[in-house]
Amino acid sequence: MLVKFTFTLSALLTTFVICHAQSPETLLLKNYRPKSIYNVPVTTVTKAKYPVIDMHTHPYAQTEQQLAQWVKTMDQAGIEKSIILSYSTGKRLDSLIALYGKYPGRFAVWCGFDYTGKDQPGWAEKAVKELERCYRAGARGVGELGDKGLGEFYSKPTPGYGLHIDDARLKPLLQKCAELNMPISIHVAEPYWMYETMDSTNDGLMNAYKWRIDKTKEGLLGHAELIKTLENAVRDNPKTTFIACHFANCEHNLNILGELFDKYPNLYADISARYGETAPIPRFMNAFFKKYQNRLVYGTDMGTSAGMYATTFRILETADEHFYDFDRFNYHWPLHGFGLDANVLRKLYRTNAQKILGR
C-alpha cells in the first residue's frame, strides 16, 4: 500500500531520540530499543511455506492503485486470499465489494451488523433483512464484531453499545448467520496486560499503557465477563461458526481458549495481531498449535507491508531466537520462533480456513 507521509519537526526529533542510543540516566521506557548481540541463526522468510488465506485484514486499500500494490505484495508473500473485515453495512459495504471485486478470488469482503435503531421496536427484523441484503451483495461472513467491555462498537455506520454478543436481541442475527453459512469474526476483551495495574510490575507496560482499559467506565465488563459472553453465544448457537479474533485475547492463559475449544466444535480462533504477545513463549505456543491445529487460522490485522508478512512467517516457521521488530511491536521483550511443523502450518495457513469458508 502506498502511503504519503508528512513529517513535522517534532516528529523528526522524536524519531532521532528513539533511533539513537540514550543514557540510562535520561532514558524513557517508551524509547527503550535494545539490539540483540547474540550470535544465533537469523532466518529470512519472505514467502510462506504454503499458500495462505489471511482471515483477518481490513479495507486498508482505498484506491485501485493501493489495491494493486497490495495484490503484488500478496503474490510475493504467498498470500492466496485475504478476508476483508469491513465492519460495514449499507452503501459503504457495497462500495468496498465493488472495489475489492476487481480481483476475483483474492479478496472476500465481510459485513457487519446494522445497529441503527437498535433500541426501537422491530429493530431485529430490519437488521436481519439488511444482513440478508449484504449476503446477496456478496458478503459471506460477518466481522469484525468488537466488544471491549461496553458492547459491540466496531460496526458502521452505527455502533451497538450496550449489546454484548450473548444479548437475546442478537439471537435472530446469529441464527440467520447459521442459516446463511456466514461465519462470525468477533473480538472480545483485550490482552490481559491492558487490565493490569499500570506500574513497574506490569511486564507488558510499554504496549499495555497505550491500550489500557479504563476500568472506571460505568457498565464496563471485565476480561472474564467478556469471555463468558463469547462462550454463551457459542454454546447457545451451535450451528453458527464463530472465529474469536486474536486468540480470544487469552494470550496470557491460553488454557482458557483451549477449554472453549474442547467444549464447542463451532469455535475457531485467529492468531492475528498477537504475535508480539505470544512470541516470548515459543515452546508453549508450539505445543498449543499442535494440540489445537484444527481450530486455529492465520491472520495479520497489521497492514499490508512485505516486512509485516515476513515477520509473521519467521515467528511461525522458524526456530530463530531473541530478535526484535519494533516497527510492529511495542513490547520490550524479544521474539522467538515457534518452529511449527509442516502439517500444522498447512492447516493454520489454509486448510482450516477452507473448512470455515466452505461452510
For the stretch 79-138, pLDDT in tens is: 999 999 999 999 999 999 999 999 999 999 999 999 999 999 999 999 999 999 999 999
**DSSP character at residue 334:** P
Q: What is the dihedral of CA 157, 161, 162, 163, to 10 degrees?
A: 50
Q: Tell me, rounded to whole angstroms, the distance of Cα 69 from its chain centroid.
A: 22
Angle subtended at Cα 43 by Cα 312 and Cα 277, rounded to the nearest 5 degrees: 35
CA 343 and chain centroid, separation: 23
The Cα–Cα gap between 184 and 240 comes to: 8
Task: Supply the pLDDT for residue 359.
Answer: 60
First CA to last CA across the chain, in angstroms?
Answer: 31
- Name residue, grid cell 459472553: 229
**To the nearest whole number, what is the mean pLDDT of the chain?**
93
C-alpha atoms less than 13 angstroms from C-alpha of 269 in its C-beta half-sphere:
26
Grid cell at residue 250: 487469552
The per-residue pLDDT for 22 is 78
Report pLDDT for 299. 98
The pLDDT value given to residue 310: 98
The helix (H) or strand (E) run that includes residue 262 is helix 255-263
- This prediction's pTM: 0.93
Those residues of the chain that have pLDDT short of 70 are 1-20, 359
| pLDDT at residue 339 in the model | 98
Q: Where exactly are the structural domains of the chain?
A: 41-358
pLDDT, residue 5, reads: 35
Query: How far from the centroid of its chain's Cα atoms is residue 340's Cα?
Result: 20
What pLDDT is attached to residue 20? 65
Q: Which CATH superfamily is domain 41-358 in?
A: Metal-dependent hydrolases (3.20.20.140)
| pLDDT at residue 239 in the model | 98
